[in-house]
């Protein structure tokens, strides 16, 4: 059964006897303030295709970065990261951190050089691996927020991101061939 609304009524009574203020319907959209907690309000993503490498044992910028401006300071931001990585040597760990506006978030309490959001040990050198992780952050702001990913590798090896290998003159050479992504979703709070 369809309902036609005319006049200046400020509320609609539905067949199940629930009443909804007509201000909830604006151009066919429900205002964010009326959505339940946990609703995805906006999504932003960076798809990073550049071949990148590091030999640093301290966290350095990876090139993965994305911006989002929360609509309410009580909302959260779900950060999801997928990195295609490789190592020049087997048995070395590659670690990554999430950094929000210059502050590392989502890490444990170990010393700064071994503390990270996620890490993996590379078992086969020069072959692509995946380092994927997510973190639900509470930025507590309505100002623009920049999330970036920093990474490092254990001393003695080189880490590669988005790298494919090919043989050139008898040795392995690297070039872009894969992608890595960072995706942020604003999630409505309570």
pLDDT digits (tens, 9 = 90+) for 12-30: 666 666 666 666 555 566 7
User: Which of 89 and 11 is assigned the larger pLDDT?
Assistant: 89
DSSP3 helix / strand / coil % (the chain, rounded to 5): 5, 50, 45
pLDDT per position as a tens digit, 120-160: 887 777 778 889 999 999 999 999 999 999 999 999 999 99
Q: What is 36-187's CATH number, 2.60.120.1340, 1.10.1740.10, 2.120.10.80, 3.40.920.10?
A: 2.60.120.1340
75: CB partners within 8 A, 6+ apart: 41, 186, 187, 188, 189
Digit-coded pLDDT (tens) for 162-179: 987 655 555 666 677 899
> Which positions ≥6 away from 146 have C-beta within 8 Å?
65, 66, 67, 100, 101
**Owner of token pair 């090139």:** 63
Burial of 104 (0-12, 13-18, 19+ CB in 10 A): middle
What's the confidence (pLDDT) of residue 141?
A: 97
Helix (H) or strand (E) holding 51: none
Tell me, what DSSP letter sits at residue 38? T
- Which sequence spans correspond to the domains of the chain? 36-187
Alpha carbons 25 and 62: distance in angstroms, whole number: 43
Which residues 6+ apart lie within 8 Å of 33 measured at CB?
A: none
């Amino acid at each position: 059964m369809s309902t036609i609304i005319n006049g200046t009524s400020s509320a609609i009574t539905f067949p199940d006897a629930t009443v909804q203020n007509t201000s909830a319907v604006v151009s066919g959209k429900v205002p964010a303030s009326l959505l339940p907690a946990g609703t995805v309000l906006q999504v932003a993503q960076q798809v990073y295709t550049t071949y990148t490498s590091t030999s640093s044992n301290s966290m350095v910028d990876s090139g993965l970065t994305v911006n989002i401006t929360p609509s309410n300071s009580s909302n959260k931001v779900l950060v999801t990261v997928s990195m295609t990585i490789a190592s020049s040597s087997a048995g070395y760990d590659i670690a990554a951190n999430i950094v929000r506006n210059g502050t590392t978030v989502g890490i444990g309490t170990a010393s700064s050089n071994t503390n990270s959001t996620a890490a993996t040990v590379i078992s086969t050198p020069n072959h692509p691996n995946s380092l994927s992780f997510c973190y639900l952050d509470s930025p507590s702001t309505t100002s623009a927020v920049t999330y970036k990913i920093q990474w490092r590798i254990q001393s003695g090896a080189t880490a590669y991101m988005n790298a494919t290998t090919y043989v050139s003159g008898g040795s392995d050479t690297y070039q872009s061939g894969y992608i890595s992504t960072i995706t942020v979703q604003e999630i409505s709070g309570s």
